[in-house]
Amino acid sequence: MKTWISKAVVGMILIAVALLPVNTMGAEKKSVGMFPLKMLAAGDTGPLGHRIFSMISDNLIAEGAMVTSMELQDDVTLMALSSLQAMGVSHGMDYLLWGTVFIAGEKISMDMKVKDIIAGTDPVPFFAEAQGVENLFSAVNALSTEISGEIFNRKLIEKISVKGNIRIESDAILKMIHSAKGDIYSPERLNSDLKAIYGMGYFNDVRIERQDYDNGLEIIYSVEEKPSVRKVKFQGNRIYEEQELFDVISTSTGSILNIYKLKADVAAIETLYTDKNYHNCEIKYEPKLLENNQADVIFTIKEGKKLRIETLVLEGNEFFSRKEILKHIKTSERGFWSWITSSGDLDRNELGQDVYRMEAFYKNNGFIDARVSDPEITFEKEGITVKFKIQEGAQFHIGEVAFKGDLIFSQDELVDGLTLETDDLYSRDTLRANMLSLADRYADKGFANADVRPSIARDIETKKVNILFDIQKGDPVYFERIQISGNTKTRDKVIRRQITVHEQDLYSLSGIQRSTANLRRIDYFENVEIKPTRGSAEDKVNLNVDITEKSTGAFSFGGGYSSEDKIFGMISVSERNFLGKGQITSLKAEVSASSTKYTFSFTEPWLFDIPLSAGIDLYKWDYEYDYYDKESTGGALRFGYKIFDYTSLGIKYGYEDFTIENVDEDYTDVDAGNYVTSSITTSLRYDSRNKAFNPTKGSEHSISVEYAGDWLGGEIDFTKYIVETGWYYPLFWKFTGFLHGRGGFLDDRSDADIDIDYERFYLGGINSVRGYDWQDINATPKGETEERGGEKFLQFNAEVTFPIIEEMKLVGVFFYDAGDVYEKSEDIKIEDLYTSFGGGIRWYSPMGPIRIEYGSILNGNEYSGGRWEFSMGGTF
């Protein structure tokens, strides 16, 4: 019992000691009696005297003193020293402190006295002065420091100097320390100064010396400078020139010799050599000390032999063969063409990634517990061996897939949207993709913060994993503000009308994605980024639309050779975003050996700020056909309206006044004369392409009917039907597939004495069936010399495009074309189509697409060979 009590008492004493203030445990407390300050001033000083008293008192307490405020009716400055001594003793004080503050204008003078009661000596005076109240704080602090030095017998630093330095300026060294003249001597602060000077990296040794004087002390920082580098030399280097080695090291002539930097230089040179497969290279440094505190640094290099990976060892793989696994990693063994392909190169970073690649391969093929160890690398005389140790584990298939939590879709609807199916091999990547897909589906319903967490339960016996998706939808989120930035020319409303979501709408991920696609498709911007950011509350987001504008105007001119127009020249001015309003205008002139074309076009895509487009076209064309010439002047007024998401309805009225002349009657039935065509065209168009030029996915389809009749004021009567479809598919890498089909039918109702061959169909050339000349594919009956177009036609094209120089928008293309033209009564025979194949390049230049392609005839009936095609303008 006594033992227990004694232990408890000891514990309580230890706790009490631990709770004592630090200064109480480290040094004896000093009791200081402090009298109110006497104020001498012309006017009322207010609380100034009390503030000075409090500042001095607080500083003394911070230094470890116990300050007591002494109350006295008489003027302390007039009291006899014997009386003050007796008062100090009776109150148990170690020191008494009093003083006078003189205020004359802006000047504040403080005259203080400290009396040692224990020693009984005369008071020690202290004086400080401040110019203005704003400088009072620093003056009182300095005064308090001096008083503390007296009370705690601490000396003040009166002088700081540096010795031993030759190259390094004293001022540079003194800037690194915290001690200053007038500070109380502090070993802790001096230790910090020592570390700071060492940290400069210029000194082998730093010592602090102290010189005591009656009124203070001097601190001397004694330094020994490191040698400076006179010269850096390399020995044994054959692979790299000296300058290449100098480029990677930090030690140089005139720099301070630093062992740590030399070690870093060795590592940098080693990296340089290992990058070229010199993995056994040895690098050493040697500093040679010279006179005048200088040194030469010599790097000695033993380059050794170039080593590559000779053997990749896989240990523990039973299910998959070595060959099958190695297909999924980038590290490879040295091959015959290693000097070109870099096969066998050792890249430690790539090796680390290969571990993850192998694990991913296993985990995506059902081996949910597969592990691959870090590679073991062995450097041998003739090469490198790398070993991977694999723990395959068991292969699992997918069992049940279920959902819990906040389900806004039925279980069947959720399952239908997944690519996970029962009995499929378990795949980590597929699971992750489905988790993101579920989150996206919830985000599209306004739950932008939906949390989807899959849990996996293994059934060891059946080797199946049951997957349970736990979905927490969170609160619905709304768009608060749509903020547009980066547009210096394009008006906000032009951008906003392409954004399918609106402020205060429920959050929609697909709406954001569609808005991004819309802004990219109009092709006004170099870059488009739409980022949701948090709004004023957790259930609100702001949509930041950040765009970078690009030039939409073009002035171009040029010339060349076209397979259709022969030698031609062209000049054009166009603007796709006129005045920043999204309006499209163009003026173009083309002159060639066979035609002259002048065209003007203007389109307002959003008339009255609704998705109603309106435009006007004016033109004057003179064209020399093979057997007659046609001069025409005309124009069109057109309207279009967006009726569905990707679908628009169009109507156009066209008027053309033309003259047929220079007719070769031996080869055509076209009659010379002046004619007028007045027509109305209606069209339905669907366009979901991701880009207007060089699209990579989406489709474009259209159907149009053009009706021309005398009741519209013209002399030509016909109805023309055109159907067109195009599909774009991303294939692999950056290859894009394109399937295109086009067909038409002409119902000619004109009088028998008017031949409208110029409205009939011909094929051949770069925009239809390549490899054939324009009008080579026609409906002229065999044996007849009068060339005649067809009343119906079919055209098919298949293309594969790929980037050649992506930055220049230079694209390669391979193609297969087929098509034919028929008279009204003639049967369409798919098996007898004219066909060709070939390839070429396309440059999507500022002047428009420029195409150079070669078509080789396959099934050409009477035609054979092939031809080069060139054009400047649009594609299909």
Q: How far apart are CA 414 and CA 610, in angstroms?
A: 37
Residues 197 and 60 in one domain: no
Q: What is the pLDDT of residue 481?
A: 94
Residues 605 and 708 in one domain: yes
Q: What is the pLDDT of residue 484?
A: 95
Q: What is the pLDDT of residue 808?
A: 86
| Residue 765 maps to a domain | yes
Residues 461 and 566 in one domain: no
Residues 519 and 656 in one domain: no
Kindly report, residue by residue over 300-357, the tens digit of the pLDDT.
999 888 888 888 999 999 999 999 999 998 888 887 776 666 777 888 888 889 999 9
Residues 700 and 838 in one domain: yes
| Residue 580 maps to a domain | yes
**pLDDT at 23 exceeding the cut of 60:** no
Residues 541 and 581 in one domain: no
Token couple for 106: 């802006």
| Residue 3 maps to a domain | no
Q: How far apart are CA 108 and CA 136, in angstroms?
A: 8
What is the count of structural domains for the chain? 7
Percent of the chain having pLDDT more than 70? 93
User: Kindly report the CA angle at 15 between 12 and 17, in degrees rounded to 5?
Assistant: 110
Q: What is the pLDDT of residue 17?
A: 30
Residues 723 and 627 in one domain: yes
Pick the more confident residue, 68 or 781: 68
Residues 100 and 207 in one domain: no
Q: Which residues contact 252 (CB under 8 A, 6 or more apart)?
A: 229, 232, 246
Pick the more confident residue, 78 or 546: 546
| Residue 380 maps to a domain | yes
Residues 198 and 242 in one domain: no
**What b-and-e string marks burial along 565-598, b requiring 16 or more CB atoms within 10 Å of the CB?**
beebebebebbbbbebebbbbbebbbbbebbebe
| Residue 2 maps to a domain | no
Pick the more confident residue, 667 or 738: 738
Residues 636 and 619 in one domain: yes
* Least confident piece of the model among 182-191, 372-381, 520-529: 182-191
Phi, psi of 703 (to 5 degrees): -140, 135
Q: What is the pLDDT of residue 848?
A: 66
| Residue 736 maps to a domain | yes
Residues 562 and 697 in one domain: yes
Across the chain, mean pLDDT equals 87
Per-residue confidence at 802, pLDDT binned at 50, 70, 90?
very high
What CATH code is carried by the domain that includes residue 297? 3.10.20.310
Pick the more confident residue, 862 or 653: 653
Q: What is the pLDDT of residue 752?
A: 59
Instruction: Give the domain-ending residue among 151, 172, 196.
Output: 151
Token couple for 574: 């166009």
| Residue 734 maps to a domain | yes
Token couple for 360: 């991913």
Instruction: Give the domain-ending residue among 302, 328, 355.
Output: 302
Residues 460 and 505 in one domain: no
Per-residue confidence at 875, pLDDT binned at 50, 70, 90?
low
> Looking at the whole model, is its pTM more than 0.85?
no
* Least confident piece of the model among 573-582, 602-611, 690-699, 810-819: 690-699
Kindly report, residue by residue over 409-430, the tens digit of the pLDDT.
999 899 988 988 899 999 999 9
| Residue 265 maps to a domain | yes
Identity at 267, one-letter amino acid code:
A
Q: How far apart are CA 41 and CA 39, in angstroms?
A: 6
DSSP 294-336: EEEEEEEEE------EEEEEEES--SS-HHHHHTT-S-----T
- If 0-12 CB within 10 Å is exposed, 13-18 middle and 19+ buried, where does residue 547 land? buried
Instruction: Give the domain-ending residue among 549, 577, 612.
Output: 549
Q: Name the residue range of residue 169's domain.
A: 157-225
